[in-house]
Amino acid sequence: MFWALGFLILFVALLIPILAIVLDSPVARNFFRADPGTVNELMERVRGLEDEVAQLTQSIEDLREETRFVQRLLDHPDDPDSIKKLPPLE
């Protein structure tokens, strides 16, 4: 019984400085000081970045399709079906 009480006292004694160090860190300060405006601004920036990534992904896919088409034309320039394989104009 006494060893459990001693362990508890030692644990609390060690926990106090550890909590002081963690709570005094810059990350904890920014976490507790963050206002809703900053969080909303960050969320807006993340949404904007997600939209840009989606647009870039679409552009890359378009470029791949164009590259495949040009490669087919270069591989088989006399193919009579090459005109039929033209992608629709956008």
In tens, the pLDDT along 23-80 reads 888 877 777 777 777 778 888 999 999 999 999 999 999 999 999 988 988 888 777 6
What's the pTM?
0.47
Query: In degrees rounded to 5, what are phi and psi of residue 79?
Result: -70, 120
CB 65 within 8 A of CB 87: yes
Give the start-to-end residue ranges of the domains of the chain.
Answer: 1-33, 36-90
pLDDT: which is higher, 54 or 87: 54
